[in-house]
Structure 1
Amino acid sequence: MKILHIIRSVNPEGGGPIEAVIQLSLTMQSFGHVVEILSLDEEDGRLNLKECPLTVHAKGPGIGTYGYSKKFIPWLSAHAKDYDAFIVNGIWQYHSFAAHSVLKKLNSPYYLFTHGMLDPWFKHQYPLKHLKKCLYWFWGEYPVIRDAAGVLFTCEEEKVLARQSFWPYRCNENVVNFGTAGHVGDAAEQKREFLDSFPDLRNKPFLLYLSRIHPKKGVDLLLEAFAQRAGLRPDLQLVVAGPDQVGWQSELQDLAAKLGITDRVTWTGMLKGDLKWGAYHAAEAFILPSHQENFGIVVAEALSCRLPVLISNKVNIWQEIANADAGLVADDTLTGCGELLDRWRQQDNERRIHMGCNALNCFKDYFEITSAAKSLLAIISK
C-alpha cells in the first residue's frame, strides 16, 4: 500500500505530531508499505527536509499561521491517484481544509488525526480565539471531520473530550494504538555525551522536563512548585529542555530569578538524537505538568528509558501510567505539581527502581510503535 501523510510541517520543533508520523511511517515501511509526506514547508531543501527520513513533497511556504499555499491543491489533485490511503494530521490550518477539498471531490477516503486539537481546554483557556474558531467551524473545519472515513484518536479520553468543544459534531470515531519506537542507541554513551554537554549537571540528580516551552505545558507551575521545595533537596536540579516556540522562555527565566532558583535550573534548548536520549538516561524522573496533552510522545519515550514519569491528569494517557504504576499523577495546578514533587521525594530507592521497571513494561504493553502501526494499518486498510 502507498500512503500519503498530510501535515503542516516536518519541522521537529512542531512537537509530537511529526515525530509520530515519522515513527509510524518507518515502521509501516518495514512491513513493505510505501509512505510519503505532503507538507507546507518551503521547497528549498532546508535542514527540516534533509533531516526527515521520508520522502517529503514540500508545497509551501504556507503563508501566515493558517498556511495558505497556491501550490498545495494543484499538486494533490494531480498526484492523489498515486496513493492508496491518505492520513491528514492536524486541523485549523490550510492543509486540512485543502486536503478535504481535493479528496472529497475525487471520492478518495481519508483519515484524520486531530492530535488533541479538539480538546475543550483550549475553549476555556482562550475564549475569544474559540469564538473565532466557532465562526470558522461550520463551513471550514467541521466538513473535514464529518467527511473523514475515520477520525483517529490516540486514547479513549481524547475521543470523549473532543465531543465537548464544538457544535455540530458528528464523525466516524476510531481509537487507535499510538506510540513511538522508543529508546535506540548506547544508553551509557548517550548519558556521557549529555553530561559532557552540560557538565554542571554531572553527579547531580535532576528532574527532566522535555517538551515545547508553551503555556499549556505548565512550566510556570513547575518552577513555582520546585522553588517552594528547593530547600528540601538542595542538590536537586531541574532541566527544562525544548524549543521556545512562542517566545516564553525569557519570561520563565525571569520567574526563576524572582523565585531564587536560577542556579538550580538548566535550560538546554531543543535536544535531539543522542543528546535527547542521554537526558532521559541521566535524569532521576521525567516531569510534565501539562494542562492539555492528547498523548505525549515524550512520555512514551521516557517510559522506554525506564524513567518514571510525573504527569498531570490532563495528559490523556495518565490512566495507563497509573494502572501500570509507572509514575505519579496529580492535578494540573500548583498544588498538584507540588504533590508530584513531594510524592516523588518520599519514594525510596527500591521503590524508584521498581517504578522504572514498570515504566519499561508499560511502554512495551501500550506504546511500542509496532503495535501502533499495525493498529493504524488495520483501520486504513478496510
Structure 2
Amino acid sequence: MRILHIIATLAPQAGGPSNSVRRILTAYPGIGSGGEVVTLDDPDEQFLRDISFPVHALGPVSTRFGFSRRLIPWLIANRDRFDGVVVHGLWQYLGYAVRRAINGRKPYLVFTHGMLDPYFRRAHPFKHIKKTLYWLLNEYWVLRNAHRVLFTSEGEAVNAAKSFWPHRWRASVVPYGATAPSGDPAVLVESFLREHPELRKPDGRPRPYLLFLGRIHAKKGCDHLLEAFAKIASRVPDLQLVFAGPDGAAATGLSKASASNMGTSGLKSALVAEAKRLGLAHRVHWTGMLEGDQKWGAFHGCEAFCLPSHQENFGIAVAEALACGKPVLISDKVDIWKEILHDRAAFVGHDNVAGAVSTLESWISLPASERAAMGARALQCFRSRYDMQANASGIVEAFNQAIATKSGKRAVRAEAKLPAL
C-alpha cells in the first residue's frame, strides 16, 4: 500500500505531529507498505536533507494558515499514485485542499492531533469564535467526509466531541507509538553528560535529575513543574530538574516560514528568571533541543519523566520515557494517563501546581526498590501498548477497510445491473 501524508511542517522542533509522521513513515517498510510526505516547508530547510523517505516541500508559506497555490495542483497531478491520504492537523489550508483534490477519488483519513480538545476553547475564547466560523465553512465537512477521523486515545476521542457543534465523523483510535532506543544505555548517558557536565558531582558521578523533554510552552505546564520542584527541593537537596526542548523562533534555527508553521511561545526567559528568584538557578538546567544519542541519554539518565501538561492528546515523549524504563509523572490532561496508571507506571495529578507537587511527592517518597519495580513496569507498558508499528499498521488497516468497502459497493451495484435469470 502506498500512502501520502500531508502536514504543515516536518521540523523536529514542531513536536508530536511532526515526529509522529517521521516515525510512521519509517515504520511502513516493516509492514510491507510505503509512503511519501507533502509539507509546506521551504525545500531548502536543513532538517529535510537527512530524511530517508520521499518529501515534497511546497513552501515556503508566509502564514500559519498555510495557503499554497501549489498544493491543489500537486495533489491532482499525483493522487493516482497513492491508495490513500492522511491529513495531519486542522485549521489550515491542508484540509480544504484535500476536500477539493482528493474527496470522492481516494479515501482519506484525518489525524486531529488533539486540536479538538476543549482546552483550546477555554484558553483562547476569542480565537474559538473565529474557529467556529471556519468549522461551519470547512472543517466540519473535512471531518464528515473523511473515511476515518483518527484519535490517539479514547480520552481524546471523547473530548473532541465537546468543542464544536455540529459534529459528525467516523472515529478510530490509533495510538501513537515510539521506537525503542538502540545502543548501550550507559554509553548514551555518558554521551549526554559529556555535553552537560553541570549534571555531574565533583567526584564525576551523575547527579539525580527529573526530566522534562518537549517544547517550552505554556500548554505543557512548565511553570507548574518549576513551582512544584521549588516546593519539594529542600527535601531532596541533590535532585536536579532538567528542561530539554526548544523555545521561541530565535532558538529553533528555522526559516521564518517554518517557524510560523510550528508556532512558538518564548516562555523560557520567564522561567529562567523565576528559577533564579526561587534560588534554584543552580539546580534547574536548560539543554535546548536534544536529538539522537543526546536525547536517549537524557531519558536513560533521568530518575523519572515529568509532563504536567494542560492538554496532551498522547505525548510521544511519555512513550519514549516508558521505552527507556522510566516512570512518568504526568497530569490527568495527558489523554493516555488511565492506561499508564493501570499499568502502575505513572503517578498522575491535576494540571495545576498542587497536582504537580502531588506527583513529585509520590515519587520522592518511594524506596529505591519500588522505583526500580516501577521502572520495569514502565518498560512493559511501552512494549504492550506503544510500539510504533501498531500505529502504522492501524493506518494501513483503515485504508484496507476503505478499499474493501468501496469494492463491495461496486460489486453490489454491478450485481443489481445483471439481468434476472
TM-score category, normalised to shorter length: over 0.9
Q: Are the counterparts in 2 of residues 10 and 52 from structure 1 also a CA contact under 8 Å?
A: no
Counterparts of 1:269 and 1:115, CA distance in 2: 24
In structure 2, give the amino acid aligned to 1:57: H
Q: Displacement, 1:228?
A: 1.6
Map 1:244-323 to 2 at 5 A: 244=247, 245-323=264-342
Counterparts of 1:186 and 1:87, CA distance in 2: 36
Q: Are the counterparts in 1 of residues 110 and 148 from structure 2 also a CA contact under 8 Å?
A: yes
Counterparts of 1:183 and 1:158, CA distance in 2: 27
- What corresponds to 2:11 in structure 1? 11
Q: Displacement, 1:54?
A: 1.6
Q: Are the counterparts in 2 of residues 6 and 88 from structure 1 also a CA contact under 8 Å?
A: yes
In structure 1, give the amino acid aligned to 2:67: Y
Q: Displacement, 1:360?
A: 0.4
In structure 1, give the amino acid aligned to 2:329: L
Q: Displacement, 1:254?
A: 1.3
Structure 1: gaps spanning 5 or more residues: none
Q: Does structure 1 residue 205 correspond to structure 2 residue 192?
A: no
Q: Does structure 1 residue 98 correspond to structure 2 residue 76?
A: no
Q: Please, what is the CA RMSD of the aligned residues?
A: 1.1
- What corresponds to 2:413 in structure 1? none
Q: Are the counterparts in 1 of residues 31 and 393 from structure 2 also a CA contact under 8 Å?
A: no
Map 1:38-49 to 2 at 5 A: 38-44=38-44, 46-49=45-48
Q: Displacement, 1:262?
A: 0.9
Q: Displacement, 1:27?
A: 1.4
Q: Are the counterparts in 2 of residues 17 and 115 from structure 1 also a CA contact under 8 Å?
A: yes
Structure 2: gaps spanning 5 or more residues: 201-205, 248-263, 402-421
1:254-300 deviation per Cα after TM superposition (whole angstroms, max 9, x unaligned): 11112221111000011000000000011011000000000010000
In the superposition, the TM-score normalised over structure 1's length comes to: 0.97
Counterparts of 1:87 and 1:65, CA distance in 2: 19
- What corresponds to 1:175 in structure 2? 173
Secondary structure of 1:151's counterpart equals strand
Q: Are the counterparts in 2 of residues 177 and 376 from structure 1 also a CA contact under 8 Å?
A: no
Q: Are the counterparts in 2 of residues 9 and 39 from structure 1 also a CA contact under 8 Å?
A: yes
Q: Are the counterparts in 2 of residues 24 and 180 from structure 1 also a CA contact under 8 Å?
A: no
Q: Displacement, 1:37?
A: 0.3
In structure 2, give the amino acid aligned to 1:27: A
Q: Are the counterparts in 2 of residues 39 and 95 from structure 1 also a CA contact under 8 Å?
A: no
- What corresponds to 1:120 in structure 2? 118
Q: Displacement, 1:361?
A: 0.3
Map 1:105-254 to 2 at 5 A: 107-202=105-200, 203-244=206-247, 245-254=264-273
Counterparts of 1:89 and 1:182, CA distance in 2: 24
Q: Displacement, 1:29?
A: 1.5
Larger radius of gyration: 2
Q: Displacement, 1:63?
A: 2.0
State the 4+ residue runs in structure 1 displaced beyond 4 angstroms: none
1:117-161 deviation per Cα after TM superposition (whole angstroms, max 9, x unaligned): 000011011111111111211002111111111000111110000
Q: Displacement, 1:86?
A: 0.6
Stretch moving more, 178-187 or 329-338: 178-187
Q: How many residues align?
A: 380
